Amino acid sequence: MASLVLGLVSLPTLGCLGIGAITGGVLGVVALVRASRQPEEYGGQTLAVIGVVASAVSILIAPFVVGVGAAILIPSLLRARVSANEAATIGDLRSIVSAQHAYAIENGGHFDTLECLTRPGECIPGFEGPEFLSSELASALPRSGYDRTFHPGSAPEPLGADVSPSSITRFAVVATPRVAGQTGVRAFCADATGLVCYFPDEDVPSIAAACPDSCRPFS
């Protein structure tokens, strides 16, 4: 009876992680041996046979079912992760652009390095306000499956004494997937114009402090 129950339960549960099917099979074999040796005391041979067969079938079909499930679930999970990585990266680029424009208001209309956005008091003479960008976003470390590179433009001329010495006239930020096709399928760019755009694939052309024409804006 125990073999029968475990065998039947193993069929829809893929062998109860293997343990249930193996236990059901062992119990069924033990029951068959005892029934054949002492038929007057032990019965239930039919139940034991069904239990052994059900346990064996569940073990045999488990790899197939798991394989089919993995083939269906893994691509879906990968697509979900890629979408999440891309959404987070686009949000980061927009945050950097917003921080640059807010910083420029305090810096005579000029942009600056990402480090100065995190420590504006050390760059803008006499500035005592809060940071414009978190150090995490300013870091060169990868985030959300993407590498980021900052492309600064030239310094303004003339450079006034009341602005940051590292001021720049324009900038571009590029994000590329760390593992193409797995952490992301597109590359992104944002620049001083406020544009946030994408490249159809992970390949990025040469960047010179502005997103190139091949970068497609979001509709």
Tens of pLDDT, residues 22-64: 665 566 556 555 656 655 555 556 655 565 565 565 555 555 5
Domain membership flag for residue 81: no
Q: Are residues 64 and 92 in the same domain?
A: no
Domain membership flag for residue 10: yes
Q: How many domains does the chain have?
A: 2
pTM of the model: 0.68
Q: Are residues 49 and 117 in the same domain?
A: no
Domain membership flag for residue 65: yes
One-letter amino acid of 106: E
Find, among 104, 7, 2, 87, the residue nearest to 44 by Cα: 2
Q: Are residues 131 and 170 in the same domain?
A: yes
- 72, 95, 127 — which closes off a domain? 72
Query: pLDDT (tens digit, 9 = 90+) per residue, 165-211?
Result: 999 999 999 999 999 889 999 999 999 999 999 998 767 888 889 99
Q: Are residues 41 and 112 in the same domain?
A: no
Task: Residue 121: give the domain boundaries.
Answer: 87-217
Is the torsion defined by CA of 208, 191, 149, 100 positive or negative?
positive
Beta bridge partners of 148: 175
Conformation bin of residue 180: beta by default, left when phi > 0, alpha when psi is -120 to 50: beta
Find, among 104, 100, 95, the residue nearest to 114 by Cα: 100
> What are φ and ψ of residue 26, in 5° steps?
-65, -45
For residue 158, is the peptide bond before it cis, meaning its omega torsion is within 30 degrees of 0? yes
Q: Are residues 66 and 94 in the same domain?
A: no
Domain membership flag for residue 80: no
Q: Are residues 194 and 162 in the same domain?
A: yes
